[in-house]
Amino acid sequence: MKPTSVKRNIQKALLSWFDTEQRDMPWRRTGHPYPIWVSEIMLQQTQVKTVIPYFERWMKSFPTLQKLARSHEETVLKHWEGLGYYSRARNLHRAAKLVVKEHNGKVPNTYDSLIKLPGVGRYTAGAILSIAFDQPVPVLDGNVKRVLSRLFVMQSNGVPSAHEKHLWETSSELVPTQRPGDFNQAMMELGATVCLPKKPLCLICPLQKPCEAQQRGEVDKFPAPKVRTPTKKIEVSAAVITRGGKVYIQQRPHSGLMGGLWEFPGGKRKPEETEEACLKREIKEELGVPITISKKLMTIKHSYTQFRVTLNVFWCPWKSGRIRATQCEQWKWVKYEDLNQYTFPAANARIVKSLLNKGEKL
């Protein structure tokens, strides 16, 4: 338990810093729970400057929870295209439907009700309750964790769950009853703009005095560096199959990675295979038809959090046969100009962009 005077000093210093230094963000101008919820979901794993245009477009298309709940999933996913982690969009959509059905369209203002909604975890519930409903509920994201670790020289002693629990308790102790939402946002803002992972700007930090790591000259020891698992490299072959001015695309199964998104067929190359042999095998397995490979169109390199993909894309004019695509949700022949209506994972979206930029049909 931190002494009351320490807590008060931290709260006071941080809130007055936030009053003058906070960045202007569109969701901060609203105070309403729905846009705050949307922004919090978008901001998970994504930086503020990337989120802003997505947020603005989202609020224009889905200005209310009711409008979101009534929208088709394909439209919702299209608004998320490029943000990644699409389960966030699907969960938000499902949650909107539940709020309309079970809460009369109003975002619930209790922790127990919020936590039951798809995609709402302890962090999101805390952010909504404190920022939109002025309740002294803590938040703990990567930025807050870093600030707290340094402020109180907190280190994991080999039991990550115990450390996490300790961080939540500390965040809970610190959040004030007056202006809890501003305080939580100030902690996150400090982590994002001043208490940076590398080279924190301690000289301009409002918490320089109470910060124990700074006082000890041990800022670089907190938090302890993460042990990173090496990124996996995978090579994939994909087919742009064309027939009479149309392109074949298929929808990934709703459950699973990037569920519900559209893609060009293909798959992972085995070590002993050539890119072309891989594609022929994959298409035979996925569509049940043989293909003819005309030429290589492009190679795309794309990094996801866990792996790095090299995508070799081939043009395959339609040969013959009856498509029996059993591994996907559905498949379609789509006009080039309509490809933009579908949501593709990032690497596949680059194939679409390139096909449309070429301005000529294969």
Crossing angle for the helix pair 48-61 and 33-43, to the nearest 10 degrees: 140
Q: For ligand SF4, which is the closer residue by CB, 91 or 208?
A: 208
**Sign of the Cα pseudo-torsion (197, 201, 202, 205, in order):** negative
- Does position 313 bind ligand SF4 by CB under 6 A? no
- From 74-82, 101-109, 200-208, 318-326, give the range in contact with ligand SF4 by CB under 6 A: 200-208
Residue 131 to residue 308: CA distance in whole angstroms:
37
> 237, 314 in Cβ contact below 8 A?
yes
> 38, 59 in Cβ contact below 8 A?
yes
From residue 262 to residue 281, the character string flagging contacts with ligand SF4 as x (rule: CB under 6 A) and all else as - is --------------------
Q: For ligand SF4, which is the closer residue by CB, 201 or 356?
A: 201
Q: How far is CA 300 from CA 5, 81, 156, 307, in A?
A: 56, 18, 40, 14
Count the Cβ atoms, other than its own, within 10 Å of residue 106. 11
- Does position 151 bind ligand SF4 by CB under 6 A? yes
Site for ligand SF4 in 112-141 (CB under 6 A): none
- Does position 283 bind ligand SF4 by CB under 6 A? no
Known catalytic residue: 40? yes
- Does position 150 bind ligand SF4 by CB under 6 A? yes
To ligand SF4, the closest distance from the beta carbon of 173 in angstroms equals 16
* Residue in 130, 184, 214, 242 binding ligand SF4, rule: CB under 6 A: 214
To ligand SF4, the closest distance from the beta carbon of 190 in angstroms equals 7
> 78, 27 in Cβ contact below 8 A?
no
User: Which amino acid belongs to residue 230?
Assistant: P
- Does position 213 bind ligand SF4 by CB under 6 A? yes
Binding residues with ligand SF4: total (CB under 6 A): 15
Q: For ligand SF4, which is the closer residue by CB, 117 or 151?
A: 151
> 245, 336 in Cβ contact below 8 A?
yes
To ligand SF4, the closest distance from the beta carbon of 148 in angstroms equals 9
* Residue in 120, 147, 283, 309 binding ligand SF4, rule: CB under 6 A: 147
Written as six digits, the tokens of 101 are: 């059905």
- Is the backbone peptide bond immediately before 26 cis, with ω within 30 degrees of 0? no
To ligand SF4, the closest distance from the beta carbon of 66 in angstroms equals 42
- SS3 of residue 297 by DSSP: strand
- Does position 311 bind ligand SF4 by CB under 6 A? no
- Does position 200 bind ligand SF4 by CB under 6 A? yes
Q: How far is CA 269 from CA 2, 81, 299, 302, 306, in A?
A: 56, 26, 14, 16, 18
Residue 1 to residue 4: CA distance in whole angstroms:
9
- Does position 219 bind ligand SF4 by CB under 6 A? yes
- Does position 205 bind ligand SF4 by CB under 6 A? yes
* Residue in 10, 132, 211, 291 binding ligand SF4, rule: CB under 6 A: 211
- Does position 186 bind ligand SF4 by CB under 6 A? no
- From 11-19, 206-214, 237-245, 342-350, give the range in contact with ligand SF4 by CB under 6 A: 206-214
| DSSP code for 8 | H
- Does position 195 bind ligand SF4 by CB under 6 A? yes
> 238, 229 in Cβ contact below 8 A?
no
Sequence-distant (≥ 6) Cβ neighbours of residue 6 within 8 angstroms: 210
- Does position 9 bind ligand SF4 by CB under 6 A? no
> 343, 80 in Cβ contact below 8 A?
yes
- Does position 207 bind ligand SF4 by CB under 6 A? yes
- Does position 194 bind ligand SF4 by CB under 6 A? yes
> Which one of the listed residues 40, 275, 282, 286 is annotated catalytic?
40
Q: How far is CA 133 from CA 36, 110, 124, in A?
A: 11, 9, 13
Q: So which residues are the catalytic ones?
A: 40
Binding residues for ligand SF4 (CB under 6 A): 147, 150-151, 194-195, 200-202, 205, 207-208, 211, 213-214, 219
